[in-house]
Amino acid sequence: MDFAPLGGNQKARIVAPRCSVSSSRPASQPRFIQHKKEAFWFYRFLSIVYDHVINPGHWTEDMRDDALEPADLYDRRLKVVDVGGGTGFTTLGIIKHVDPENVTLLDQSAPLSRVTLKISPFLLTLSTDIIEYWPDPQRGIKEAYRVLRLGGRACLIGPVYPTFWLSRFFADMWMLFPKEEEYIDWFKKAGFNDVKLKRIGPKWYRGVRRHGLIMGCSVSGVKRESGDSPLQLGPKAEDVSKPVNPLSFFLRFLIGTIAAAYYVLVPIYMWLKDQIIPKGMPI
């Protein structure tokens, strides 16, 4: 276990060694399936088979339970907002510990930035497999801070950036794969304290992270000051009301989907290596 400095007296705990410092495309340059309209149609079809075809290779029940541990689901009366609930796979893990009536589920048609509340009722905001479709990740984490009560916790589960050159190529074409240090920096700037990052991954990867992971880490932070986030941001980078050129949309969607197919093959490749290479040897 090591610690990454956050400035001042704050520290972020990373439950694993640091990741590589390989360069990635800036978050301000959206990938082919990062605009909300492209992401909507991408998951419009993928969600039909997501839990049965995609999840077994990237997001297992064991991984889900491991990733939810930093969320500190200690009380069945805990008020939780699950942002980007999708098919409800992660929500099923939450309600093992929290009464269902205390969980508010938002999908991509109701982004967190549109949750208008006179008070901040939630003790936990949880976002799973959604940051990769945020053109401005910092804004989303700032909004998580806004809707939390004093002492509340935000937990974000998402992908991590690859270091292997071919995986980096497809990751940068498909969607946002943040680095571990980027997650920590975004939480810190939003005003969170006690920031922690826990690594997760399929068991058959044997800890290998060079190809990146669609579900690779669980990051959490605590709101220690009341009110809105101290971070001030400019206008939103993405305008979903702006008309999209149909040809451009189709080409971006097609290329992004091809890039996504690579990450369907990666867990199969890693599973085969796990079966062939003797245990205890690196893969």
Q: What is the mean pLDDT of the chain?
A: 82
Q: How far is C-alpha 55 from the chain's CA centre?
A: 14
Give the three-class secondary structure for 165: helix
Q: Which tens digit of pLDDT belongs to each residue from 119-150?
A: 567 888 888 878 887 878 899 899 899 989 99
The torsion angles phi and psi of 217, rounded to 5 degrees, stand at -160, 160
What is the token pair recorded at 68? 């939810």
Distinct helix (H) and strand (E) counts, the chain: 8, 8
Element (H, E) at 262: helix 246-276
Q: Please, are residues 217 and 39 in contact by the beta-carbon 8 Å criterion?
A: no
The answer on pLDDT for 73 being more than 70 is yes
- Asked which of 59-73, 103-117, 176-190, 199-213 is least confident by mean pLDDT, the reply is 103-117
Give the three-class secondary structure for 3: strand
Per-residue pLDDT at 19:
39
For residue 155, count other CB atoms closer than 10 A to its CB: 24
Tracing tokens 């439950």 back to the chain, one arrives at: 15
More confident residue, 249 or 60: 60
Residue range 2-15: mean pLDDT, rounded = 44
Could you give the percent of the chain with pLDDT greater than 70? 77
107-140 per-residue burial string, b: 16 or more CB within 10 A, e: under 16:
beeebbeebeeeebebbbbbbbbbbbbbbbbbbb
More confident residue, 231 or 40: 231
Amino acid at 97: H
Residue range 241-264: mean pLDDT, rounded = 81
Per-residue pLDDT at 7:
41
For residue 172, count other CB atoms closer than 10 A to its CB: 19
Q: Which tens digit of pLDDT belongs to each residue from 176-216?
A: 899 999 999 999 999 999 999 999 999 999 999 999 999 99
pTM: 0.82
Per-residue pLDDT at 259:
87
C-alpha–C-alpha distance, residues 247 and 167, integer Å = 27
C-alpha–C-alpha distance, residues 6 and 11, integer Å = 5
C-alpha–C-alpha distance, residues 12 and 75, integer Å = 25
**Domain covering 2-17+25-225+244-276, topology:** Rossmann fold (3.40.50)
The answer on pLDDT for 98 being more than 90 is yes
Amino acid at 99: D
